[in-house]
Structure 1
Amino acid sequence: MKRFFTFIALAVFMLMSAQAYSLSILLINDNGYAPDRVDVLKQAITDAGYGYTFYDAASEGSSPSLTLMQDFDLVMWYTGNDGAGLYFWNGDNIDNEAIKQYIDGGGMFWLQGLDFLYDRYSITPLDFVEGDMMHDYFGVAQYYAQSHVDDGLYSDGVAELDVMPDNGIFTMSPIKFAYPYMNFVDALTATETAVPVYRMGPEGYDFYDYYSVIYNEKGNGKILTCTFETARIDNTPNTTEFFKEGLDYFNQFGSDSIIYVTDITVHGENDANTITVNEGTLQMATDILPEDASIKAVLWSVTSGTAYATINGNGLLTAAGSYLGNGTVWVKATAADGSGVVDSTEITISNQGVEPGLYNILLVNDNANGVDRYLVIDTTLSNLGYTYDIYNTVVTGKAPDIITL
């Protein structure tokens, strides 16, 4: 029997500042290419007087669940300058059903980034029709072009964005950038139900008749789409002003007040507190008080005691499957509303891996020049009847850790 190891960094962080408003915000970082750029958004939200909970999809290796998103008034989804494998598209270029369900439930969604369309649709122009996620939810009728790429040979890119009059959200104009021109900004047209908010400028620019910010409503859901790098507005005061105008708009539809969590009790499903199967799992759960808390979502983490294990964003604890995975771990749940309330419980893990002295094989492929040559050894071990695991550094990009070894 052989198993392939793939490792995804799991890191969920939470940060809340003192809120001047009751709008509850979930900030999603989907920029794995330049992950530190989201810090600009964090500062702008704080400077605008709002608080937020932060979920790092790029580090977590997955989209946030509907369960996490649905407790928040507004989800701000930032892709920045990343345009490959985005979790906005579930990491595999398909509609993110959790996002659609969140909006269908009346959620507010603010999408920001340069290449989220290019990630899935690399050819322009492209028309979206009824039934397409970008058409129905985000109000985009056509993905026409990108600045610098399609606006003339050796074009410098778009110099500014000019506000559309009476758009109902923003008045700040023009939006200038940290560079003289911004590349890879998407030129869009809006559906009949959507509202163009910013056009590409200045007047006379190739794509002056196209838009880079569009607002749409679907049922009670409210969606704002920005196809430029919001972390690269020309200076800090203007960045803060842009975010404040956007957040102030959403704030009028937010919760009247936030009822904070006062108590959390962590336990395993059906009150189980053990994992006894090799590489077994245990679904963790919480009891939250008060029952009418505004945000009942929690952020999960696990701390090694005498064993090793991992936990995902939905609270599924997974044993390591190695001898070092036997022992105890502490599973912690932190309230996502910024109240600071936490609880943890101890889980005992047994029957992991093999006992010392017994025969077990890990085949490590570290040959990037002949990426499939290890298959000769793979076949030989299989023919000899050995049980073994395969770890491919060419795929993971790093050496196996101590738990794997």
Structure 2
Amino acid sequence: MRYGAGLIDAGGFILPNVNKLLEYRLSFPDVVYRNEPVPIIVNATFENVASIDGIVSDPDGSEFLLDFTGTTTYLRSCVFAETAKLGKYDLSIKIVDMQGNVTEFGRDFYVVVNPENGVINDMTLPEQVTFNDTLPISVVFENVGDSDYEVMLEVQILDDEALVGSVESDRRVVGAGSTTAFDLSWVANRHPGTMLLRAVASFEGGVSVQEGAFAIHDNDPPILSDATFDESLIVNEPALIVVEVTDLSAVSGNITVKNPSGDVFVMPLVTLSRTGDRSVLAGTYTGTNDSGDYTFNITVCDSAGFCTSSDSHVFSVTGYVGSHLIVISEQEGSKPERYRETLSDDGCYVSLWDKSVSGLPTLLYMERFDMVIWSTGNYGGDNVDKESSDLMMNYTGNGGRLVLEGPDIAFGHGCDDFMKNVAHSIFQDDIALSDSEIPMTVTHNHPLFAGILHNISFNASSSPYPDSLAPSDGGVELAEWRTGGSAIVAYNGNGTKTLFIPFMLDALDSAECLFIRNAVDWMLTDENNADLVIGDISYNYLIEGNNPINIKVENTGLSDTTGVRIDILVDGVSEETVSVDVSSNDCTNLAPTLALESGIHELKVELNSDCSVVEQNYLNNIETVNVRVATLAPDLIPVAVSSDIGDAIVDISALVENVGGNDVNDLVVEFRIDDNLLGRETVNLGCGQTRNVSMEWQKEEGLFDLLIMLNPVREIVESNYSNNNISQTLYVCSKSGILIIDDCDTEDYSTDEPCSADEFETVLLKNGYCTVVWNETEKGIPTIENLNRFDIVIWSAGDYWNTVLNESDAAILEQYNGGIVFEGSDLTSDHPDDPFL
């Protein structure tokens, strides 16, 4: 039996085992040590035992008769002492009562060796051994018992609690009171380091354990393979240096770099992988901000302190006059090389940074580049961790230009500060695309889509789990998914540009390369260009037919513009396109005439829709307003009705409006209460004009149906008669003021319609009480000033529960001196033993 695999201290079993039968209970120990007596007790429920006979059979089959004696009239006992043999003993008991009934028991118990009868009293092994040499082990076991037994020794080798090797001896008989030496050996073929040796001596019913430590040493220094690095770099390009090391133990090291000025920098190597005795280490040097030759050498040491240094290596850094961007890839599958391949002929140099190899770059290093592309590829795990998101927030907060590419970024961040401040959008949905290709529609003209169709094919097999977004914090949607939600969101403000693409660009297939070039061109646009914005859209009262629209176009940029295209659309349909010139820091006013039909319309003005003028910002080129166009004929509507209840008079006011295109004279406004004519007023109302018409009513108490009718007999020709009336319930109360608190700001409720406040209000209004309902979810907790305005407070909790009548509620009510009615199915459940209630 292996130590740690089920062997337990037999002494723990020596507890009475009580067998409960209806009339008799038999008690005896399950396990005893060798030569220990076994007490056996029979406890009878009644004084009805005539005789008890018992037999014990030992492991060899020998039988022994038991002699029971009476301790009391209920208890019979005996002692079995023949426990010299180890193993299982069978116990048979036969009980006969006074009526001749027989009850039989068949049980067993075990005899084991006392663990204290054997011990490892010595273990010898060297403190250290050389790798692949033999480790000699000597263990001395002593039998301190009074009988001979067999012993087997196992030696276990453990590395960080993991079993890495073992050796077993043959079984040997160790005589009583004597010692035996076990000499074993083990080939130290594990990697160097400190190991634990555990010697386990197992014998019949017992075990003895002793532990010791030793070290495996490797006397050979690490072997370095040739370092891998780029011999030619441009200024600010990261110098990635990779070296393969062969050594039996784990290794560590550093790179010492001397720059062209003679300054020396030491940076640590990180371990990328270890397979067997081969380790791959890497270091990334970012101090390449000067042209010239850089020399470096590598030093690697193993766990025994043996070190190896490489020869001196050289890489050269040259200047570059074009744009320089860096692609930071989070995962191996990000395929950053596609950016380098796409942009190689565009006068733009692309440096690559692998986060899984080089870790995170510093903020100062990122800011050396003209722009940053941060790509996660199609990896669906923990994209953009907190350190990465904080870095990007600092970068964009300082005016950086960032393209963020990858699915599940939004899914992982939801609507946190990173999404709001960097992506300028929030997560809307995780899209699982079933179609191999779906269209993505451009919704905002932008240089990103130059040369690309507005319905862009999306190959779902290349990026199967994109996110859909909702723009936020100044973000502007550039394209949308067919399934809904934004597919691309851009931001341009305060010197910062960001472009968030919540999928891998490989899904754009043939359009990918052109999209990448367009995106980089936009990101690197000179801030000295023009910036066209719509300063204002104004108009007079609009009546169906021809209407002039005043449009102010401003150029807030630093360059003059000519031939700026201006598109004017109504309900998505182009109505007019004009071309204007706008100088820097100047404006141009337009007044195109549009033929408009009556109704509500979306008026959209877009500047530079063809992107022919290079701008600092294309995201502010669109302005959309909703306009109402009146019919030629008048259209008379009552907008609102109100009442002012005095001591004897109720002043009823109606706000009426002519939303049509012609003036009216002698408009009749009719007031009715409970379908009885209260009176009429006559007013003149110009097109687009609003007037207030009032009438007094002698106050009566109760509920009344108030109806206001315009042009009741249709003496005036209108474009629409269906909107001429407005009705309202007029309530004049006569009794006490009652405040109904709707305590609905709880954590849960027990029915589909938990609110009772409406029912209270309906009954009280019908009975003439001056009633106000206070919704705690909408208005919060009322103040004591609110409560003191009323004679009675009804605290209505309905079927809400969990935090009904919370501490703040109770504190307000304790200050109130009026009458209180509590209502709610869970008030007492939420407040058991509460002295307040």
TM-score, normalization by structure 1? 0.48
Higher relative contact order (CA 8 A, sep 6+): 1
When you count strand as a share of all residues, which structure comes out higher? 2
Q: Which has the larger radius of gyration?
A: 2
